Amino acid sequence: MQDFDFDLFVIGGGSGGVRAGRVAAQTGARVALAEEDRYGGTCVIRGCVPKKLMVFASEFPAAMSQARAYGWDVQQGAFDWGQFKGQLHAELDRLEGVYRNILKNNGVTTFDARASLVDAHTVMLADGRRFSARHILLAMGGRPVLPDMPGAELGITSNEIFHLPELPKRMLIIGGGYIACEFACILNGLGVEVTQFYRGAQILRGFDDEARGLVAEEMRQNGVDLHLGTNILSMQKEGAQIRVLATNGSDTLFDQVMFATGRAPNTAGMGLAEIGVRLGRNGQVLVDDYSQTSVPSIYAVGDVTDRVNLTPVAIREGMAFVETVFNANPTPVDHALIPTAIFTQPEMGTIGQSEEEARAIGPVEIYATSFKPMRESFAGGTQRVLMKLVVCATTRKVLGCHIVAPGAGEMIQLAGIAVKMGATKEDFDRTVAVHPTMSEEIVTMKQPVRSA
């Protein structure tokens, strides 16, 4: 029987790789992990965590305005980006230390180095050292990419947004996905004059039409200058600014341009295709239901597989991998009915099918209500929220739940349990409302607004 240096060699120190490495080590396996950048991956270092902290920071101007309507003598001062950025990076350093300690405390051998594959059982580090492993797990994640267009190098991506020396006065964001929309709202809240271009007919493609329409409307109400059906023709440097000519005829100077137009898996230069690992058109690692690649000893989890690119999904995939390989319990990854949140202002929380997806499959009933919540109404605000259920007309099962409201992310986590369990509309109806709350509308909508 061949002896290996390690039972498992993980490439990538993000959420999926670290979880898989730690849990595998707890089974008694000899585990190594290589990471060329910072531990914690996209989520902790340049994604969900710093983004959410920026979301919190950006919400205070509206909160202070609302406080005055409630009788508080609150005076809004200036936002100190330097102070906030210092605290932000100190927190990221702390979290990276937590990830390193998790691996150390579980006996995982770590290498701060880039790794590539030599063959089905051999990993080579950038310094030339080679290690053999019974199993190799690819968990390198993904990265934002700039579009192929003249002047694109003048722009930045979501990676650089957390490191700006100062906040721009005027900023253009290109894209209509959740990253583009979240940062448009964040920077707008922090006092930046934000313009957003999206070439499509509506932002947040793939989400429920009614929900994304309301998010777009509220973003405009809050001050984001959103232009749909619009793209860049050219970008050129002009002094310290960037001149942007757009398809809508505008010719504008911006201090910064941020591209949020796509991400790509980190598979380049890894030696994957050379040893027989099949890759997709976008460079993603192709895997089966058990995260196994075309090379039996090599598995892949997380964004590098381009399945469902969400941190909790990568963690679930890592756990299923360990169950399958180290606990002799073949466990496929369940990618059905995943709740998710988009941290725009207002937030969107969603699980299951959109109205459009469900209608294409069979007859449905739509229960929906849009209203101005009590807190907003009292303060004289205009912001509306949406509560929506998509129900199968024959089985009565709730196929989708879509919420646009402050705190929608918190709400959808709990609503997601019921939808995942297969709850019917009558199960929702039998649940007593919590009053007065926004979310009580989810259980008090008795008549469908339309059927299809």
Catalytically annotated residues? 435
d(CA 311, CA 289) in angstroms, rounded, equals 18
- CB neighbour list of residue 39: distance below 8 Å, 6 or more residues apart: 13, 18, 96, 99, 100, 103
Query: Quick one: tokens of 93?
Result: 């350093």
Structure-token match 């040893």, residue found: 275
19: left (phi over 0), alpha (psi -120 to 50) or beta: alpha
CB 192 within 8 A of CB 163: no
Query: Quick one: tokens of 3?
Result: 């002896």
Query: Quick one: tokens of 439?
Result: 């979310």
Can you name the residues that pair with 89 across neighbouring β-strands? none
Task: From 409, 341, 383, 372, select the one nearest 62 (Cα to Cα).
Answer: 383
CB 402 within 8 A of CB 386: yes
Buried b (16+ CB within 10 A) or exposed e, 99-115: bbebbeeeebbbbeebb
Specify burial of residue 224 (Cβ count, 10 A radius: 0-12, 13-18, 19+). Answer: buried
